[in-house]
Copies of this chain bind each other. A is one copy, B any other.
Amino acid sequence: MSGTPSERLKELGLTLPPPPKPAGTYSSVVLDGDHAWVSGQIVLQGGAILHPGLVDREVPPDTAKQVARQAALQAVSALHDALGTIDRVRRIVRVTVYVASVPSFGRQHEVANGATEVLTAIFGEAGRPARAAIGVASLPLNAPVEVDMVVALTEA
């Protein structure tokens, strides 16, 4: 793999979604020294949650995996908005993938791969984070998936 993350984004034919607008008293990204903390991302489309509901009940796992991918791209968009570039990403340090789950569902790790596969496609091995994938009772606006991250940056 070669080139910068922004070059790879183009090669992959990916366009970042619009950066998220915080729906409450928080920041989408907090810059803290050489780290960026990205708030939990849920995915809306046309003002409504994309594929609302619990995974493996209203939302098929494969659909949830696509939502996880989109939430990760939205987190990358938030980083771009905060930094002016995604090429200062030194390492995606940590990603948490929260999957709204029925109690019997046990494939949160497969849903989570939707987020981390696109991160490694863009950032290479620097996009392979420590990760936790967990099944939660529900999420804001009945989103099926929420994704947050901690990112290490190079100097500005």
Chain A interfacial positions (CB closer than 8 Å to B) = 23-30, 32-33, 37-40, 52, 54, 91, 93-96, 98, 100-110, 112-113, 116-117, 119-120, 128-143, 146, 148, 150, 152
Number of copies: 3
Q: Can you list 12 A-B pairs with a CB-CB distance of less than 8 A?
A: A24-B113, A26-B112, A27-B129, A29-B130, A38-B130, A40-B133, A100-B103, A100-B137, A101-B137, A102-B137, A107-B141, A135-B137
CA distance A28 to B107 in the complex (A): 18
Contact in complex: B30, A139 (CB < 8 Å)? no
CA distance A107 to B96 in the complex (A): 20
Contact in complex: B26, A95 (CB < 8 Å)? yes
